[in-house]
Amino acid sequence: MADPVSRTILLLDIEKYSDRDDVEQAYLRRMLYDVTDRALESAGIDGTLRLRADRGDAVMELIDANAPVTALLRALLTDVPAELRALNRMASSSAQIRLRGVVASGYVAVDGHDGWVGSDLNRACRLLDAEPLRAALRERSGDFVLCVSESVHAGVVRHGHPGIPAEDFHPVTVESKNGPLRAWLHGPVPGTAAGGDHGGGGRGEAPGGSGDRPAPRGSGGGPSGGPEPRGAGDPEQGADGAADRPAPGGSAKGPHRAGPAEVPHRAGPAEAPAPAGARGAPAPGHVLNVSGGSVSFGGSFGGGDTTVVLGDRLRDRGERP
């Protein structure tokens, strides 16, 4: 076995490959190789800087450590999604190709059978088959998802190089038979999409609102559109919900505003149209009817003259008894 050397590891895998028939699988393999070759060429990585291993529904590339990882990541984030969109636009439903990708780094040796040996390579394969990466591809509308190892994130991604937005990568922990593996997924982590409900059962939100204001009240004034409870929010309501109106036979404590469901008062002996003035004209000002001990108000009390009706007598506010 040769001595292990430092390599950048690229893995690409076809989604739902085994669900296709032989003809479709052969087509998908050709497309996988074409997409991989074009992405590596776009990154400036030619055939002299890489070794390829075929895994049937996947491809593994061992890339020379001197090849720039930044160029490889930019090609994977931009060129590969564009290539897949172009292919799938013209392909039938059975020939759609969607890929999972992993970029890792580590030491790999080549044995006498041209096989690849190395624990870093094993961990990269665990990431490729991990459920978070599979779930991300299932939940997204795009055709490609990418995950990078902890070492690639620490050495390249987190520094925010042009075309590699560090804020778009999110940490994930992958369970494997060798223990948990930490990696970084490009795009939303499955099950934690932005904008979801974070719990809070406070005020309702107005349709189309930002959540900063409560939902509008119903037409009836109550929380659900019904009538507003008496005594709530009305300065003229007492603690028991009753209006501060004079008791029968008593005196009024203040002006009483007639509500929409005002109960009509009983007509007294002098109940009639507004009383006439001294010359037959309507009496100026407001009218206070006092009959049988009950009091009702016409209008509101303010400036001007007021006429008081007591039984069958008229008395102006300025008239003395």
Phi-psi region of 56 (alpha: psi -120 to 50; beta: other; left: phi over 0): left
Interval 54-111: pLDDT, tens: 989 999 999 999 999 999 999 999 999 999 999 999 999 999 999 999 999 999 998 8
- pLDDT at position 266: 52
* 13: nearest Cα among 110, 120, 130, 156: 130
Q: Measured between alpha carbons, how far is 60 from 8 in angstroms, rounded to an integer?
A: 11
CB contact at 8 A, 185 and 170 = yes
CB contact at 8 A, 9 and 102 = yes
22-26, 78-82, 83-87, 311-315: the lowest-pLDDT one = 311-315
Structural class in CATH, domain 5-186: alpha beta
Residues of the chain with pLDDT > 90: what percent?
54
- Going by pLDDT thresholds of 50, 70 and 90, the confidence category of residue 179 is confident
Residue type, 111: D
For residue 68, what are its two tokens?
Answer: 């720039």
Residues of the chain with pLDDT > 70: what percent?
60
Compute the CA torsion angle 192, 195, 196, 200 (nearest 10 deg): 130
Which residue in the block uniquely carries the two structure tokens 């997924």?
Answer: 185
Q: Quick one: CA dihedral 71, 72, 76, 79, positive or negative?
A: positive
Q: 3-state SS string over the chain?
A: CCCCEEEEEEEEEECCHHHCCHHHHHHHHHHHHHHHHHHHHHCCCCHHHEEEEECCCEEEEEEECCCCHHHHHHHHHHHHHHHHHHHHHHCCHHHCCCEEEEEEEEEEEECCCCCEECHHHHHHHHHHCCHHHHHHHHHCCCCEEEEEEHHHHHHCHHHCCCCCCHHHEEEEEECCCCCCEEEEEECCCCCCCCCCCCCCCCCCECCCCCCCCECCCCCCECCCCCECCCCCCCCCECCCCCECCCCCCCCCCCCCCCCCCCCCCCCCCCCCCCCECCCCCECCCEEEEEECCEEEEECCCCCCCEEEEECCEEEECCCCC
Residues near 145 by Cβ (< 8 Å), separated by ≥ 6? 99, 100, 101, 133, 136, 137, 185, 186, 187
Distances (CA, A) of 174 to 27, 131, 185: 31, 8, 11
Domain range summary for the chain, segments of one domain joined by +: 5-186, 264-321
For the ranges 157-161, 243-247, 286-290, 309-313, the one whose mean pLDDT is highest? 157-161
